[in-house]
Amino acid sequence: QKEVEQDPGPLSVPEGAIVSLNCTYSNSAFQYFMWYRQYSRKGPELLMYTYSSGNKEDGRFTAQVDKSSKYISLFIRDSQPSDSATYLCAMHQAGTALIFGKGTTLSVSS
């Protein structure tokens, strides 16, 4: 079983839709959970950072972590064409390297 699983998509939605992106993981020791956004041929850019279980909101973005299910989610409200990118989940335990999912490619049409 791969450490971090993420459906690569692609996912296409109309402008204004609510987007749900998800990852599952197998290592129960993971404590820190991130979402990065990557535009084509660019480096990943940190969007959201959550420690342990719970929710975190930042503008149109909400990150959720359910450690009991080993499942994390990123919700995007009122999606915009500028949100079109690849979204990477990533996670790690204290003192170890960040492990990425494969990324979900999102396209928001106007």
Partner 1 sequence: EPEVTQTPSHQVTQMGQEVILRCVPISNHLYFYWYRQILGQKVEFLVSFYNNEISEKSEIFDDQFSVERPDGSNFTLKIRSTKLEDSAMYFCASGMGGTGELFFGEGSRLTVL
> In the complex, which residues of this chain contact partner 1 (CB under 8 A)?
32-34, 41-46, 49, 88, 90-92, 94-103
CB of 14 to partner 1, least distance (A): 26
Residue (17 or 53) nearer to partner 1, CB = 53
CB of 16 to partner 1, least distance (A): 30
Residue (20 or 38) nearer to partner 1, CB = 38
Residue (44 or 76) nearer to partner 1, CB = 44
Contact 89, 101 (CB under 8 A): yes
Residue (91 or 108) nearer to partner 1, CB = 91
Q: How far apart are CA 53 and CA 64, in angstroms?
A: 7
CB of 6 to partner 1, least distance (A): 8
CB of 56 to partner 1, least distance (A): 13
- The tokens for 57 are 């909101």
Q: How far apart are CA 22 and CA 64, in angstroms?
A: 9
Phi then psi dihedrals of residue 81, to 5 deg: -55, -30
Angle, alpha carbons 32-106-58 (nearest 5°): 45
Residue type, 101: G
